[in-house]
Structure 1
């Protein structure tokens, strides 16, 4: 039973048809799953003396009888978070992230406790996840590994045995001379914020740079292969950056909660800190730095435009959320109150107005960089009115804004590969023309 965006209840349906469901007594914000003899619980708040972000295993029948003795399968620390887990018939595959890079282990329950062994084949600065198991049938599993310069690769293995590479996506851009690095920026409150830089291995100095971010809804910005980024940006000599700001899940539940509600500004401070750090490291200049984000990331782009316009040379916002005083009255917006706050509650309205790009447009102060807004008439999640109103207000105040609206495509902003290609060409042409020095 889903209570709101972040809370739910789990019930056991008894075999007797007329017996009422039995609520499993775990916190409403926790994740819970039952497999054979085991109840596994992922905490999002401290519980039974364990910190948020812990993975616990209970004997299910004993738990129903009131026993709360747990096996601790994972405990987070400042740099490591739970990424997920999957059961096979007799084993649990545990995925974690250490500074946003994947690690995988094989855990096996037994009479003497749980045995652990690393799952091989996960290179540094990459993302790995289990794609399929059949926990009712056996211990076979499939897992997927990708990175900024590594095409997605599918592996098949048997828990406790060997694994093999089954298939790899084709390499769609030349990676020679490119490298992936990770750095950390210091945010306004002293928090260390991770980010990845993909670009020339020899680091020739300031270059046109595209910085991407999201910062919300527990979505982590992790390494991943993108042919479009490779061919449309990296192959032209650009540098690509992905920031793991607060609001995501890069470091577990606390990283998400740190930017909830009235603390949303932490995500914006983190993103601005990464922008400044890129310039301080001579990776780019403010005039050569473009930023891009969509949906909640579009809200981030709007916030950057109105809060720190001097940091950027161009901004791209896809299907953006921009009016934070009316978002809950449009389409799916009411479901996001648990993330942002309630505009009808005076206690929340003040901070929502402060982070609402539509209400923060001004005519004084530093000039705004050019903005490209993309939306869809058929977006059924973030209403296109957000982008339309923002474009109108910016033009009213004399700020440079470009606006493109597809008639279809929903929240993806495109209905087919042709429209997607058009959007990507539009975005990368807009950015490249504005971030490269004129000759």
Structure 2
């Protein structure tokens, strides 16, 4: 079967698995069902989707998600080169690239406009044959799901660690005279702040404004030179004086939602003392993913003031508890005393609160989503399709089965020889 993960980018600018599916074939009908299921789960199609060059997927995206921009990701294909090639059953991509001319030959047919598609396929086949490349399809479904669960748990652990580092550690501030750096540390989660800090440091030490001119329509053009780059051109930063709207010709803010080194250079030149709020994308901020949302669990509408009050109190309690634990972690006796205090309060609360009978999973989801209608689920039998990379259609046999099979063949051969002799 084919495993199809949906991968996005979380608020720490790391890859995160949004969902996954195991499908029985790679037909347009199956992909259409899958994309519709994704839209149903998330409420909308993604604005951009990046896939490999699969004809069925390309057609289905055009028909099912017409509002999405579909692109093929060559960078990821080349970046994963050293980990995606197998010889026999061992990953040897790094050695293959370092000790042979494999990467040079591959780049020679990939990064060129001189080859027609048919010629490319021919050259590609020659490379696969010369280096004995193929994939290992012998992973059992149960084994695969175990690996997948481990990978997802590691992903969640890394996300929790990034959240913890953002809340409870303080980064070093290098440009204390440039107040925007300290403000960025208070606004952004840690990984995004390090990115902004690098841009700020480059703006201070390696950038300069060549000239600027003020236009009649309240626009000011700044021409910024970045000496850390090899290009000799100036980047144009345009600022509208009435509302401090600013943009740069490098389009970094439009692409990533983060200010570029050239804009920071202009802000420092103008002695701007407040980080421009209009250019703070919420997905990169510290509070974009709260620790918990009990307001949703209680069934309170998000627009209700009570929802914000409950969530605010819970987040405050959680932050205080996490901060206290981090301070007491080196004092074992004090940590145990805090634990005993929490356990005692928990037992007091359990005696005072009358627990309702546990609700079913269906009831909990119905209360959260507000959807109670039962939906019929149709489970269709898997077909036995053939798709790329599937390998041999036969199942793996044990040594006992192979021995029995071979002994049977020998017995039939002996009978045939005896009959021929007779």
TM range (shorter): under 0.3
Which structure would you say has the larger RCO, counting Cα contacts within 8 Å and 6 or more residues apart? 2
